[in-house]
Structure 1
Amino acid sequence: MTGTQPQEAADAAQDAGGDPADEAAQPGRPLPSGDVGGQPPAAMENPAEDESAQEWWDDPSLPWKHKPTKADIACMGWLSVVAIYGLVMLPLRPGLLASAPHVLASLGSWSGSVTVGSRAAVGDPWWPLVWFFGTIGLVKFDWVYWWAGRLWGRNLIEVWSGRSERARRMNAWTERLARRYETVAIALTYLPLPIPSGVVYLVLGEAGTSLKKFITVTLVSSLIAGGVYLGIGYWIGEPAVVAMDTYGRYLWYVSLALLVFVIWNAWRQARQGTEPAGRA
């Protein structure tokens, strides 16, 4: 009697719904754990997970190594403002030097300060006001690089260096200079020397130089440098004024040529970025 009970149970299950092995495949019934449809669980993973693993901010061309905060975004925005300002001033500088040297010097241009100094030698009375505004103009964006150093450390230097070995060596030398001399390194950035000032300020921000000390040193250095440039122009005197009056009208053509170059270069880079890749 007991030997026939398993067989009777199997027959009853088959009469009720078919083969018990097929119950897992019927609609409305939960699938057993393990293999699904003959495939291992790994084969059913969402492929979008691999694509989303690379977040937009996890890019070696960006200075942060984490999800950016509001401070990161704000600092990057200010760095963009500095870059745009530099591009705008590039074609305008020669023309302003000829027609509005007081404006150019007030924005922090040492060539504009020399020109104003030469005009002061022949009676121009505006040099004290230009000296004041020029002192502020020279340091107007320095704090942005200090802030970037405080936020990201050397990461931005690595981004700037890119794949250029020459830039990497120059930035490394500047970094050693800033870490060793600090105040002297800041003062050197206000001289017409091939020192990347942004690297100096960034390193000092990362090294822990206080903002109060940084701003104080930059303002004093700017004040002294502006006075030196004005003094050089005053020493040259009238010959510089005559030379600028003679050749100044041609500097606007230089500005136009630079403007055309900037537009052409931007167009060329945009076109290269949108060209489809060649066939393999």
Structure 2
Amino acid sequence: MTTETQRDRVGKSRPLDKPWLPWGGTPSSRDLFCWYGIWLVFAYSFAMWPLKPWLIGTNPVLLEALTGTQSAMAIAGAFARVGEAPLALVMAAGIFGMMKFSWVFWLAGRLWGENVVRLFAGSQQGGRARRRLDLLSRDTPARRWIIGAAVVLEPLPLVPGPVVFASAGWVGMGLPTFLLLNLIGVAAWTGLFVGLGYAIGQPAVDIAETVSEHAVWVSLAVIVGGLVVQTVISRIRAGRRS
């Protein structure tokens, strides 16, 4: 896809009339499906927080599939070590848990291109952010290699998943290629944490079971902590605007 064609599809054909939406004009059914899907993914992530202490010591494999968190992978690996879960199932659950929603953000990039990448990346478009977007908008082999590598490395903590996945859709990466690259990175990341838990074994199982025994208090602490952090962030942003 040439740069001009890409810009015609994303920029000129669908100018924005609301800065908080990635499309302009009347949304199509695909727009609404993807938009509400993104918000459901974020809501789902928040809804899983209180469940983690309940499941970490009772069914970490299910927790892997629901959340795709590293702690669940490690504990599930420890459960596999003591014979409480098949190792293959532990790996499969971890991979599924990390990949299950990635296609939603890829679809967002395919539908809205640079508009949604800007939205995920934040409002600041100067300096480095502007140069990164300029690089992505060029139809070059380097751009495709960079996006492909970013999809593989997305599990790393400093790689922003929604931006990377949406960028893959924006630059025209096909869904099978995207899922394959994502699978490579996710499988390596899952294997790392499952292997760590497997090496620790029974001590990790004991800790997880202790956490689950006090799940009510841990869940309350997670909820309260989340509310406090959100309040602090809101106040900081309000102070910057004033």
Q: Same fold (TM over 0.5)?
A: yes
Long gaps (5+) in structure 2? 1-15, 137-141, 233-242
Q: Deviations over 1:179-223 (max 9, x none)?
A: 5423321121123x2211110011111011111111122223323
Measured in 2, the distance between the counterparts of 1:262 and 1:171 equals 34
**Amino acid aligned to 1:64:** W
Shift of 1:228: 2.2
Matched residue SS, 1:66: coil
* Corresponding residue number in structure 1 for 2:47: 88
* Residues 239-278 of structure 1 mapped to structure 2, 5 A cutoff: 239-260=203-224
- The verdict on how the C-alpha distance between 1:87 and 1:154 changes in structure 2, with shifts beyond 3 A counting, is same
**Amino acid aligned to 2:17:** D
**Residue among 68, 74, 94 paired with 1:114:** 74
TM-score normalised by the chain length of structure 2: 0.73
Shift of 1:161: 4.2
Shift of 1:147: 0.6
Preserved CA contact (<8 Å) 2:57 2:210: no
Matched residue SS, 1:227: helix
**Residue among 60, 65, 89 paired with 1:129:** 89
* Residues 194-273 of structure 1 mapped to structure 2, 5 A cutoff: 194-260=158-224
* Corresponding residue number in structure 1 for 2:150: 185
Shift of 1:232: 1.1
Measured in 1, the distance between the counterparts of 2:202 and 2:130 equals 39
* Residues 135-154 of structure 1 mapped to structure 2, 5 A cutoff: 135-154=95-114
Preserved CA contact (<8 Å) 2:65 2:93: yes
Shift of 1:140: 0.7
Shift of 1:141: 0.6
Shift of 1:93: 2.2
* Residues 10-159 of structure 1 mapped to structure 2, 5 A cutoff: 58-107=17-66, 108-159=68-119
TM-score normalised by the chain length of structure 1: 0.64
Preserved CA contact (<8 Å) 1:115 1:241: yes
Preserved CA contact (<8 Å) 1:178 1:203: no
Q: Give the fraction of aligned pairs with identical amino acids, expressed as a percent.
A: 33
Aligned residues: 210
Preserved CA contact (<8 Å) 1:63 1:159: yes
**Amino acid aligned to 2:44:** Y
Single out whichever of 70-79 and 86-95 deviates more from structure 2: 86-95
- The verdict on how the C-alpha distance between 1:104 and 1:125 changes in structure 2, with shifts beyond 3 A counting, is closer
CA RMSD of aligned residues (A): 3.3
Measured in 1, the distance between the counterparts of 2:213 and 2:124 equals 38
**Amino acid aligned to 1:97:** I
Measured in 2, the distance between the counterparts of 1:78 and 1:129 equals 27
* Corresponding residue number in structure 2 for 1:14: none
